[in-house]
A and B are shown apart, each in its own frame.
Chain A
Amino acid sequence: MITAEGLTKRYGKRTAVDNVSFTASPGRITGFLGPNGAGKSTTLRMLCGLATPTAGSATVLGVPFRSLENPGLQVGVLLDAGAQHHGRTGHEMLALSAQLMGLPTQRVDEVLELVSLTPREGRGRIRGYSLGMRQRLGLAHALLGDPSVLILDEPANGLDPAGIRWMRALLTSFAGAGGTVLLSSHLLLEVEAMADDLVIIGEGRVLAQGSAAEMLASTSIEDLFFTTTAQHGREDVTS
């Protein structure tokens, strides 16, 4: 369970997030949509206690993120797959976090296998990883502590079609087992295929939210997205 209540973040005069409220419920995948610069990442950072809200509050599993004890065992977070020390190996990066959470090293091999990174790839330095491999490593890291909540920023970024299909199956079964998933994505059709609930934001504000079934009953996700955010694809501009 994730709740945001009146989350607001101002940097100087610029308001990045403006009074955002929503709930991501257990057993459901909540898709968090919005154009670039809409405030998605800033909102997710506030949920994870990395940024301090100017106003409003957020809770994960009923408490502010910063109050969680050993949060890695409760919330899996992937905000930026590139934010890793490139001189460490993938295995070492996971092993550090496993040690911190109090998990056996064997768990590292399990999650590497889960995201289809071979033991050989795990022994390679992250510097040599492709974007897709870094994304898989980031997902492995999010799953390491066997959490009940996942917060993922653009998790499909850089994954190949097989990877995207694998991730969809993974998140669907995660939610099916009662887990809470909040994910942001620009892949609208992918979100449509997975999400139970939608939250659409633009210019820092929530523009629409509700169950995906109701919101998409009479429209496609692309039409919903573009009418809601009042943005138009390039084809629309030229036609």
Chain B
Amino acid sequence: MTAIPFIRLSRVELRKQVDTRAGLWLLVAIAIISAGLGVLTLVVADASSVTWTALTESASIGQLLLLPLIGVMAATSEWSARTALTTFTLEPRRTRVNLAKLTSASLLGVMVMVVTLAVTAVLNLIGILARNTDGSWSLDWGILAGMVLALVLLVWQGVAFGLAFLSTPIAIVAYLALPTIWAVLTVSIEALRGPAEWLDINQTLLTLMAGTTTGDGWAKLTVSVLVWIGIPLAVGLWRTARREP
């Protein structure tokens, strides 16, 4: 007998993320929100500012908000639906399964971005023809790479929070609320402002998406990722390895 190849494990995990109603409807919601925001930019924004890059930036908000929830559910549904029983009898190497969840969720993020680019290309063409927009086809690679990396990191954060809490509602609330609470605290408490630059993942990811991360910005990004993704992921891998389905 040979081991289950990691690629195959990841493909099955990807399929599990989109073959339930919850997963499917989240994808539909992302498509509607992203397409809606792209169209809104096309119709409302100043014609001289409408470019492929600008359309892509606004159309990506849907997945940045909602795709991490698919990551959360990839981790939590094993326990809420008790499929962990099947999953871990077919692949007892549980950390390997979790790594496949991270890999497949990242792949889903990249695929969603590729689809977004295709849709915004069509919108850009419509803009050129119908509104005489700027319509520049030159992509800002700094922004694009920043958005893809930010999306992958947010999806990882979703998986990490899901693994750490192992409960869908608690993990989603924690994922949405904790970074925001921290951001609010750092604004209101003077002494936290220095550390906040290093520990506010919302801020470091915004800089990343703007394509303006430089020098110590990368160090700040790394530190915030270690805190907000690394720690919950480590806790989650540890809990998964020990928990009885």
Residue positions of A touching B, CB distance < 8 A: 45, 48-52, 65-66, 68-75, 77, 79-80, 82-88, 92, 96-97, 99-102, 141
Contact = CB atoms under 8 A, between A and B. Distances in A.
Contacts of A69: 1-4
B244 interface: yes
B1 A45 contact: no
B180 interface: no
Contacts of B8: 99-100, 102
B94 to A, nearest CB: 9
A15 to B, nearest CB: 16
Given A68-B1, A70-B1, A92-B19, A85 B90 contact: no
A94 to B, nearest CB: 10
28 contacts: A49-B92, A50-B244, A50-B245, A66-B92, A68-B1, A70-B1, A70-B4, A71-B89, A72-B89, A72-B90, A74-B1, A75-B89, A79-B85, A83-B83, A83-B85, A84-B82, A84-B83, A84-B86, A85-B77, A87-B21, A87-B81, A88-B20, A96-B19, A100-B9, A100-B12, A101-B4, A101-B90, A102-B8
Contacts of A86: 81
B85 A50 contact: yes
B91 A100 contact: yes
B20 A50 contact: no
B239 interface: no
A126 to B, nearest CB: 10
Contacts of A77: 89
B84 to A, nearest CB: 8
Given A50-B245, A80-B85, A71 B77 contact: no
Interface string B1-35: 11110001101100110011110000000000000
Interface string B39-72: 0000000000000000000000000000000000
B88 interface: yes
Pick the 5 closest A-B CB pairs, nearest first: A83-B82, A85-B81, A66-B92, A69-B1, A83-B85
Nearest to B5: A102
